[in-house]
Every structure is written in structure tokens, then in C-alpha cells.
């Protein structure tokens, strides 16, 4: 009986470890490299970061991370970049 209980506990621990390891640690490297390539290929050096609002199709909304230039700091702080709630994926890029 002790061996069976021990085996069940070990299996539960492995399942839990798999779930913990599956959590993201931020935006994927490939996604961040794609944003950098977009910035570089579209003249990002000359971009301005002064649009306070953007039209979301219904009304005007505040531009996320207003005024923060790209390539400095975390992607979650870049002007016009919106990540999913968990911070794992790029949800929206706002150009205006």
C-alpha cells in the first residue's frame, strides 16, 4: 500500500511539474525578432511617438505605452504594443 501511495504522489508531482514548466516566460524570441525586423525594415529610427489616441474601429482609445520607443526595455513597454493578459503573445500592434 505504501508503494502504491508513493507512486501516485510521484505521478502527481510530475504532472504538476509539467504544468509549471508549460507556463510562458514572456514573448517568444521569434516574435521579438519579428518586431525588431519590422522596426528596422520600416524606418523605425524615424518613427514619432506622439499620437495620444488611436481609433479602435468604434471610438478613440489611449495609445498603449505612449511615447516609449521600440528596442529599449521590455516589449511590453514599447509604444503601440499590446500583449495578451499573460504576457506571452503579441495581441495588437497599433500604428497611427
Quote the domain boundaries for residue 63: 26-93
Question: Measured between alpha carbons, how far is residue 19 from residues 24, 61, 86, 87, 92 in Å?
Answer: 11, 36, 15, 17, 27
Is position 74 within any domain?
A: yes
Is position 81 within any domain?
A: yes
Please give the model's pTM, rounded to 2 decimal places. Answer: 0.66
* Mean pLDDT score of the chain: 77
Is position 59 within any domain?
A: yes
If one counts the domains in the chain, the total is 1
**Structure confidence at residue 35 (pLDDT):** 92
Q: Which H or E element spans position 36?
A: helix 29-41
Nearest to 38 by CA among 93, 84, 1: 93
CA distance linking residue 52 with residue 43, whole number of Å: 21
Is the separation of the CB atoms in 55 and 47 below 8 Å?
Answer: no
Tell me the per-residue pLDDT of 50-92, one tens digit each, with 9 for 90 and over.
767 777 777 788 877 877 888 888 898 898 899 999 889 999 9
Nearest to 41 by CA among 70, 16, 68, 78: 70
Q: Which H or E element spans position 60?
A: strand 60-62
Amino acid at each position: 500500500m505504501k508503494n502504491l501511495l508513493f507512486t501516485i504522489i510521484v505521478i502527481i508531482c510530475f504532472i504538476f511539474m509539467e504544468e509549471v514548466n508549460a507556463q510562458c516566460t514572456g514573448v517568444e524570441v521569434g516574435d521579438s525578432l519579428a518586431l525588431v525586423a519590422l522596426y528596422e525594415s520600416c524606418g523605425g529610427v524615424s518613427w514619432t511617438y506622439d499620437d495620444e489616441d488611436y481609433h479602435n474601429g468604434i471610438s478613440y482609445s489611449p495609445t498603449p505605452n505612449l511615447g516609449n520607443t521600440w528596442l529599449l526595455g521590455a516589449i511590453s513597454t514599447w509604444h503601440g504594443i499590446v500583449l495578451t493578459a499573460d504576457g506571452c503573445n503579441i495581441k495588437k500592434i497599433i500604428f497611427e
